[in-house]
Amino acid sequence: MGPTRVEVGIRHDGEALEVRVTDRGPCADHPVAGPPGDGRGIHGMRERCELLGGRLEAGPVEGAGFEVRAVLPLGVVG
């Protein structure tokens, strides 16, 4: 069984932008990593966030589901 509901949130506080995607579906029978593909998945997202001076957190949420949260600084990166 796949996701039953996905929540997307975006917010900023003047210093950083936070993007949160939460799959509230039942994930107990699903592996954390998806099937192999051409992309780099969560590892690639984390690398991209870090290149911009941000951070990425990803993992299961309480109850059921999975969440990816990226926090990126606003302003000039250099």
Residue 54: its pLDDT value, please? 96
List the 55-60 sheet strands across, edge first: 6-12, 16-23, 66-73, 55-60
The 10s digit of each residue's pLDDT in 17-39 is 999 999 887 645 555 555 556 66
Using H for helix, E for strand and C for coil, what is the string for 3-31? CCCEEEEEEECCCEEEEEEEECCCCCCCC
Q: Domains in the chain and their CATH numbers?
A: 6-30+39-73 (3.30.565.10)
Structure tokens at 12: 């900023």
Q: pTM of this prediction? A: 0.73
CA distances from 65 to 39, 59, 68 (A): 22, 9, 11
Q: Tell me what pLDDT residue 11 has.
A: 96
For the cut 90, the answer to whether the pLDDT of residue 6 exceeds it is no
